[in-house]
Amino acid sequence: MFDKLKAVQAIGSLMKNKEQLAEAGERVKAQMESLRVEGEAGSGACRAVVNGKMKLIDLTLEPALLAGMAVDEKTRDLATALIKDAINDATKKAQDRVQIIIAKEAEVLGLGDLAPQLGGLLN
């Protein structure tokens, strides 16, 4: 109960200092933009890199997988599944990292326990 009251007080003080809040938001956005997280599937046969804004930055397929795609429908289906899995893996890891970034910034602002609720504001 007292933790929630402290959080409400912290939010109230931040509303008085909108510049501090805006600066914190810009720091989080900059960190999200520069964050790079790799996910993989098929023991590394497919690798995906996303940033903290969940945008795909890079996708790499091993040459053997590419060669098989040209010849075999089954390999094309496998490659499609691996691509999806690698992107989903990278996205999940990036989401986890963004939550950590937001939690650290919330702690600096004195918002501590409100970090999970703040995460939705920046995505």
E strands, the chain, are 36-41, 46-51, 56-61
**CB 70 within 8 Å of CB 30:** no
pLDDT, one tens digit for every residue, the chain (123 residues): 555 666 666 666 666 778 887 888 899 999 999 999 999 999 999 999 999 999 999 999 999 998 988 888 999 999 999 999 999 999 999 999 999 998 898 888 777 666 555 555 544
Per-residue tokens: 6: 């402290």
Residue range 2-122 forms a domain whose CATH class is alpha beta
Predicted pLDDT at 55: 97
Structure confidence by residue, pLDDT tens digits, 14-39: 667 788 878 888 999 999 999 999 99
Angstrom distances, CA of residue 84 to CA of 16, 19, 37, 79: 45, 41, 15, 9
Predicted pLDDT at 113: 62
User: What are the backbone angles phi and psi of residue 57, rounded to the nearest 5°?
Assistant: -105, -40
**CB 75 within 8 Å of CB 64:** no
Per-residue tokens: 72: 């075999």
Full-model pTM? 0.78
